[in-house]
A and B are shown apart, each in its own frame.
Chain A
Amino acid sequence: MRNCDRIRDRLLDLVEGEMPARQSREAEEHIARCPECAREVRELRDTLVRLRTLPEPALPDCLFDDITATVRRRIAHETPPRLPFYQRVAAWLRDLPGLRPVPALSAAAVLGLLLAIGLVRTPRTPQPSPTLEVIAVGESLPIAQNLDILEQFDLLEDLDLLEQLPVLRVPGNGRSLKMG
């Protein structure tokens, strides 16, 4: 009886073949001696068979053509899903065979590329963002070492903001961020 209590709740695992081999052998030995547990196993098997053979409703002929056409029509009006720019660049760099084993180098390359874009385009008059907040960092620290801080402000997602990085002023003292 004690064995029945221990095994009964795991008979479904046994029936589905998910019981570890050793426990499965012990359970089989018990079932061979226990008519109650043997009946339980038969009923569980029967229930699963009945479930799997339950008749399905007949389907209309062009059901799946209709579904495909409706989905096609509906998503034609949706904005196409696109990865953010920085993720596309990162994915592109990650796929370069030479960079694949060096994720840090890939990240540095992304940063370098984005900063280069910003530096090359600096002659444009910067448009100050009303919600921009720049925290003060040490004068001697390069941007790359403050990446963890900058990332908290989603700077990398905003290309316009990145273009302004070289001319950003630190609030309070009017200094520019050091660029390395």
Chain B
Amino acid sequence: MRGGRFRPPERGPSCPLFERIVSQPDFEVIRQVLDGETAAFELLVLQYQQTIFRLAQRMTRNTEDAKDITQEAFVQAYRSLRSFQGQSSFSTWLYRIAVNLCLNRLKASRREDPVEVDGNFPDAREDSLATLLTSERDRALAAAIEELPPQQRATLTLRVYQGLSHREIAHVLDCAEGTAKANYFHAIRTLQRKLEAFRDTG
């Protein structure tokens, strides 16, 4: 491997690596990687792995799948780093890779048996009626998200949890801005209807 091998980073706010993560713009790090300092790529992994994992987890609702997708997204990003043109931010580019992996995974999993949905829902047996209702509502909402078409689920996740604009979402999903906006609108409307049953009681 040219340009230095990867070494485990030091940890803690006082280490030089931490300071570089905070202070260096992504473009500068990418340039260093392309100039041969390949170990600098780990700065990008440390910077974005939580974001990408959460995105994948919300898309797949499965922790193991999300872990695999996160790893694969970074490896694919590394392989094609020289094609990154800087027309969008690195995070948007990385989202695009990760979302495509999620959509492929969802497509494949729909052909298989449904998986158990991960979720930190409280055990309602020992709680009050209000907690029971909240738990039921959250389960219903999670199930309703599961049933959304993959493109709508991706749009919803990028918008609500990642805070992307409709234009950025269109770029990530490679569609028109109007399509991204319409997908989001339909997703919210669907979930709004699913929650109607809980409004009077909750």
Contact = CB atoms under 8 A, between A and B. Distances in A.
Same complex origin of A and B = yes
Given A58-B120, A80-B2, A81-B81, A71 B50 contact: no
A30 B45 CA distance: 49
Contacts of A60: 63
For this complex, into which size category does the number of interface residues on chain B fall? 35 or more
B78 interface: yes
A64 B79 contact: no
Interface stretch (B18-26, B89-97, B98-106, B137-145): B137-145
B191 interface: yes
A27 to B, nearest CB: 16
A74 interface: yes
A19 B33 CA distance: 42
B1 A64 contact: no
A57 interface: yes
B175 interface: no
10 contacts: A12-B184, A47-B195, A55-B138, A57-B118, A70-B71, A72-B45, A80-B3, A81-B33, A81-B34, A81-B79
Interface of A: 9, 12, 43-44, 46-48, 50-52, 54-60, 63-64, 66-72, 74-76, 78, 80-84, 88
Interface of B: 1-3, 5-6, 8-9, 33-36, 38, 41-42, 45-46, 49-50, 53-54, 57, 63, 67, 70-71, 74-75, 78-82, 118-122, 137-138, 141-142, 156, 160-161, 184-185, 188, 191-192, 195-196, 199
> Which 10 pairs of residues, A with B, have the shortest CB-CB distance?
A57-B118, A81-B81, A55-B120, A72-B6, A71-B74, A47-B192, A81-B82, A75-B78, A80-B38, A70-B71
